[in-house]
Structure 1
Amino acid sequence: MRFVAITSCPTGIAHTYMAAEALEQAARAAGHEMHVETQGAAGSAPLDPEVIAAADAVIYAADLEVRDRDRFAGKPFVDVGVKAPINDAAAVLAAAAEAAENAAVPSATDAGTGAVPDGGAPAPVTKVTAHGGAATRVRQWLMTGVSYMIPFVAAGGILIALGFMVGGYQINTAQPDEIVNGFDVTSAHAWGALLYLTGSAVFAFLVPVLAGFIAFAIADRPGLVPGFLGGAVSVTVGAGFLGGLVAGFLAGFLALGLTRLPVPAAVRGVMPVVVTPLVASFGTGLAMFVVLGRPLRALMEALNGWLGSLSGSSLVLLGALVGLMMAVDMGGPVNKVAYTFATAGLAAVGASADSGAVEFTIMAAAMAAGMTPPLGLALATLVRPRLFTPGEIQNGKAAWLLGASFITEGAIPFAAADPLRVIPALVAGSGVTGALVAVFGATLRAPHGGIWVTPLIGDPLLFLLALLIGTAVTALGVCLLKSLGRRAATASADARSESAAPAGV
């Protein structure tokens, strides 16, 4: 059979390409032909229309809205999350093959999704969904906004942190005129101001980008203008990140409703370009300024006040919770919730916040806890190699770099092969790391970068100490659980051999 697939994940880095590789390997092993379009952070090369036309079925392994999905109209498809092929690509492939076989039966048509090629009858379509429902759609829309926001968070946050490192914390008073009217290339203050102001400008896009691409995921291009407008209004009225979430969904559904209105043919051409953006923008602005702005601002202020009041055991518990969430699904939705919470704190306090703000400690806890799983597994393969397969030992070598670079997904191959023993160890190690970062009071203004942004960390030695302890806990937990499992399997095998032995032997 011939298959085409789309893979995408919120960050567009690891899961996207791991899922693609898993599908290609499974298809090769089963004797099928597979072409994958990775809609990741590096962009994507669209599938050849002839390849799509020849395909027997389509596999959507995506946690985001699939771009240009209309290309596959009329094809039977399987719709799963991006982790499904990483965990069991053969099962996903088998479901796609079943969908293709069912599509050959006329009764298997799915009304409303079949294409009408060359004016003929709708092509038979079979939908096999491994995850579905309203909750899944909402998560996909939200993750689409987050995925487009993350590059702005990373670039803006690191630039701001570099500005503080070069120009000192007093650089937050820098004004654009200082560098526009005369830039002194020999002045550290001038370079610090340039970095800080550039990063602050990038940071200003966070909420509009989040809202704009949530709306885009819901309503496609007609949702972009009202979505960005809603995010900008949220910043203006002080509703911040929470306001951006609400504005994105509001703008998206307004635009989607307008695009579905039955209108005369003469008006249909200008609807997506003029009418829908205009009316949806006005509706979103009206709702955000007049109705939702004040309560959302109050809610955001209450959240910021609660975070600012955290200290002692409360902060430690929050650090541990963020750490647990960063490890439990290794870059999946729970991980992204924790990471988005941490980066939203950075956006909420702003670039000018005091260097000891609680939000910076939470960001440090999130990054350290996200680095711990791959580093702990890499250490485990080094100290107890006999507990791992040759392939896992090779993955362990790569996990050193992935963990150091804050790519939690480096732990996925180990967890997919042995989830019951690996995941509890990862959660324990990351929970300890997050709690220790909070205890030590380490801070971080840069929302990404891993070990490579150590100079930008407040109390870097304590941060590294927390990371080392968490890595050791993870490695110890993995080795212990795998050793217990190994002993249990050996004891079971011995018992079977004894019961099968002849009497007197």
Structure 2
Amino acid sequence: MKFVAITSCPTGIAHTYMAAEALQMAAQEMGYEIKVETQGSVGAENVLTDEDLAQAKAVIIAADTSVDKSRFTGMPIIEASAKDAIKDAKSLLIQAANVQESSIPKETVKPDKGEEKRPQKGVYKHLMTGVSFMIPFVVAGGLLIALGFALGGIYVYKVPGSFGETLFSTGKAAFALMIPILGAYISYSIADRPGLVPGMVGGYIAANNGSGFLGAMVAGFAAGYIVLGIKKYVRLPKSLQGLMPILVIPVLSSAIMGLLMVYIIGKPMTLFNTALSSWLTSLSGTNAAVLGIILGLMMAFDMGGPVNKAAYTFATATVASGNPSAIMAAVMVAGMVPPLGIALSTIIAKKKYTLEEREAGKANWLLGLSFITEGAIPFAAADPIRVIPSIMAGSAVAGALSMVFGSTIVVPHGGIWVLAIPHVVTNLGPYIIALIAGTVVSGLILSVVKKPLEK
């Protein structure tokens, strides 16, 4: 029996490939054949062919972003999140194997247990689609800005035409596209291709009128549902139906978005952003520590899930202008701690871990240092009661210390590998201390509470 699958997560880095591997291993164990297309940060890999689809009994879509299902018309589809596939791939395969032929006409089969609790539907899935397309612009922009600083000094922007300033300006250009892309692909997730134009227009206006990241989010959702409304209620004679996608929808939806952004959405979002920025700027001492603790807890709570992504997305908005961000620094150091703390624990208390877990712990050193929090997921899934509180404690310590030390960063990703670039991190020494402290706290707590292996 053969199945096909697609996996995709917002960043397209860890969950995408972990879900694919989990499905492949479960299928092999159960005696099934499966081909998994991964839609990651480098694009679609192992792409499903028409022959694959013709031979498959069902499609499994394990994704937190919007996936085009037009290829699968007439096939039963099992939908879940990437994390569901990582945790329980066998359950998805069982549902796919048991699907009835009578369900084939364009029906989607949803997982049975806990469906109402799954966050990948609706608002969350639309938002994560926007975030997944936005992140490459954020990462590219941030790293190019950092390289510009490294080559041209902290005042590189005052030397136009130099090599460093060119890299710096290119990074700023990538950052400038970040917010319009967010709005465009939230709208795309809701209304498909017709949503791209009004979503990008709304995001562009948000980027230029001060409403920023939050304004682009609102614009993306508004644009998507405006397009759906136009498609539903605007009717043209049959002879003019061809004008809908190329003329009526883009012109009408963009005009409505422009009016909304200028007269309704823009001003309150701008006021909110200004107030939030002033509040964050005023934070110091104890207040900053509290914010660092909250961000740290969020980063470790679900290790790449919606809570983690909420903190990360909020932080990326603070570096969009190319200015150093204390919040981004706290989020990055807190996100590095969970895999590192677990890796440390597999050394301190190695008798409490199986050989396979100790080997996975070695990989977690690299994942943690690279700011890939998802490396902690297999350990958390196997022992959530002990692992999750332990890594949350360490991340909270790291986030709080980073804020108290006043460390800032100008890049949104890269982990420890970008710290050596000059001018990327302020207060680098204390920042590394925060990372070590958080790792040690998580490692020690987990080593103490971890249940010994049964003999």
**Shared fold (TM-score greater than 0.5)?**
yes
Q: Distance in 2 between the 1:457 and 1:91 partners? A: 45
Q: Does 1:209 align with 2:203?
A: no
The amino acid of 1:13's aligned partner reads I
- Contact kept, 8 Å, 1:9 with 1:40, in 2: the verdict is yes
Q: Distance in 2 between the 1:92 and 1:145 partners? A: 26
The amino acid of 1:486's aligned partner reads P
Secondary structure (helix, strand or coil) at the match of 2:337 reads helix
Q: Tell me the residue number matched to 1:182.
A: none
Secondary structure (helix, strand or coil) at the match of 2:155 reads helix
Distance 1:168 1:463, change over 3 A: same
Q: Tell me the residue number matched to 1:7.
A: 7
TM-score scaled by length of structure 2:
0.94
Q: Distance in 2 between the 1:125 and 1:440 partners? A: 51
The amino acid of 2:317's aligned partner reads A
- Contact kept, 8 Å, 1:319 with 1:438, in 2: the verdict is yes
Q: Distance in 1 between the 2:108 and 2:341 partners? A: 45
Spell out the pairing of 1:334-345 with structure 2 (5 A cutoff): 334-345=307-318
Query: Residue by residue, what CA displacement relative to the aligned partner does 1:183-231 show, whole Å, maximum 9, x if unpaired?
Result: xxxxxxx233222211111111111010011111111111111111111
The amino acid of 1:434's aligned partner reads G
Identity level (%): 50
Spell out the pairing of 1:352-363 with structure 2 (5 A cutoff): 353=323, 360-363=325-328
> Alignment partner for residue 155 of structure 2, among 144, 160, 170?
170
- Contact kept, 8 Å, 1:316 with 1:439, in 2: the verdict is yes
The amino acid of 1:148's aligned partner reads F
> Alignment partner for residue 366 of structure 1, among 309, 328, 331?
331
Distance 1:408 1:126, change over 3 A: closer
- Contact kept, 8 Å, 2:78 with 2:108, in 1: the verdict is no
Q: Distance in 2 between the 1:475 and 1:134 partners? A: 30
TM-aligned CA deviation for residue 301 of structure 1: 0.9
Query: Which range moved further: 264-273 or 137-146?
Result: 264-273
Q: How many residue pairs get matched?
A: 448
Q: Does 1:475 align with 2:443?
A: yes
The amino acid of 2:34's aligned partner reads M
Query: Residue by residue, what CA displacement relative to the aligned partner does 1:13-45 show, whole Å, maximum 9, x if unpaired?
Result: 110010011001111111111111111112114
TM-aligned CA deviation for residue 87 of structure 1: 0.9
Distance 1:486 1:325, change over 3 A: same
Secondary structure (helix, strand or coil) at the match of 2:65 reads coil
Q: Tell me the residue number matched to 1:396.
A: 361
- Contact kept, 8 Å, 2:58 with 2:77, in 1: the verdict is yes
Q: Does 1:264 align with 2:237?
A: yes
TM-score scaled by length of structure 1:
0.85
Q: Distance in 1 between the 2:327 and 2:266 partners? A: 27
The amino acid of 1:80's aligned partner reads A
Q: Tell me the residue number matched to 2:410.
A: 445
- Contact kept, 8 Å, 2:390 with 2:445, in 1: the verdict is yes
> Alignment partner for residue 273 of structure 2, among 297, 300, 304?
300
Secondary structure (helix, strand or coil) at the match of 1:330 reads coil
Query: Which range moved further: 18-27 or 306-315?
Result: 306-315
Secondary structure (helix, strand or coil) at the match of 1:39 reads strand
Q: Does 1:426 align with 2:391?
A: yes
Q: Tell me the residue number matched to 2:54.
A: 53
- Contact kept, 8 Å, 1:81 with 1:131, in 2: the verdict is no
Query: Residue by residue, what CA displacement relative to the aligned partner does 1:143-188 show, whole Å, maximum 9, x if unpaired?
Result: 01111111111111122222223323323445xxx31xxxxxxxxx
Query: Residue by residue, what CA displacement relative to the aligned partner does 1:321-371 show, whole Å, maximum 9, x if unpaired?
Result: 111111111111111100111111112xx23x4x5xxxx111111111111
Distance 1:404 1:66, change over 3 A: same
Q: Tell me the residue number matched to 1:25.
A: 25
The amino acid of 2:15's aligned partner reads H
Q: Does 1:486 align with 2:452?
A: yes
Q: Does 1:286 align with 2:259?
A: yes
Q: Distance in 2 between the 1:260 and 1:391 partners? A: 55
- Contact kept, 8 Å, 2:219 with 2:257, in 1: the verdict is yes
Query: Residue by residue, what CA displacement relative to the aligned partner does 1:430-451 show, whole Å, maximum 9, x if unpaired?
Result: 0111011111111111111111
Query: Residue by residue, what CA displacement relative to the aligned partner does 1:67-124 show, whole Å, maximum 9, x if unpaired?
Result: 2x021122222211110111111122122223x2xx23x4x57xxxx34xxxxxxxx7
> Alignment partner for residue 196 of structure 1, among 168, 175, 180?
168
Q: Distance in 2 between the 1:22 and 1:401 partners? A: 21
Q: Distance in 2 between the 1:295 and 1:428 partners? A: 36
Secondary structure (helix, strand or coil) at the match of 1:65 reads coil
Q: Tell me the residue number matched to 1:152.
A: 137
Q: Tell me the residue number matched to 1:83.
A: 83
Query: Residue by residue, what CA displacement relative to the aligned partner does 1:342-401 show, whole Å, maximum 9, x if unpaired?
Result: 111112xx23x4x5xxxx111111111111111111111122221111111111111111
TM-aligned CA deviation for residue 265 of structure 1: 3.0
Q: Distance in 2 between the 1:410 and 1:340 partners? A: 19
Q: Tell me the residue number matched to 1:493.
A: none
TM-aligned CA deviation for residue 125 of structure 1: 6.1
Q: RMSD between aligned alpha carbons?
A: 1.9
TM-aligned CA deviation for residue 305 of structure 1: 1.2
Query: Which range moved further: 443-452 or 51-60?
Result: 51-60
- Contact kept, 8 Å, 1:211 with 1:228, in 2: the verdict is yes
Q: Distance in 1 between the 2:14 and 2:352 partners? A: 25
Secondary structure (helix, strand or coil) at the match of 1:169 reads coil
Q: Give the number of the structure with larger relative contact order, counting CA–CA contacts within 8 Å between residues 6 or more apart.
A: 2
Q: Does 1:457 align with 2:441?
A: no
Q: Tell me the residue number matched to 1:222.
A: 194
The amino acid of 1:390's aligned partner reads L
> Alignment partner for residue 232 of structure 1, among 204, 212, 218?
204
Distance 1:61 1:126, change over 3 A: closer
Task: Structure 1: give runs of 5+ residues left out of the alignment.
Answer: 116-123, 180-189, 491-505
Spell out the pairing of 1:242-261 with structure 2 (5 A cutoff): 242-261=214-233
Distance 1:125 1:140, change over 3 A: closer
Query: Which range moved further: 260-269 or 302-311?
Result: 260-269
Q: Distance in 2 between the 1:49 and 1:128 partners? A: 25
Q: Which structure has the larger Rg?
A: 1
Query: Which range moved further: 227-236 or 269-278?
Result: 269-278
Q: Distance in 1 between the 2:301 and 2:108 partners? A: 36
Q: Distance in 2 between the 1:477 and 1:271 partners? A: 61
Superposition misfits of 4+ residues, deviation over 6 angstroms: none
- Contact kept, 8 Å, 2:80 with 2:110, in 1: the verdict is no
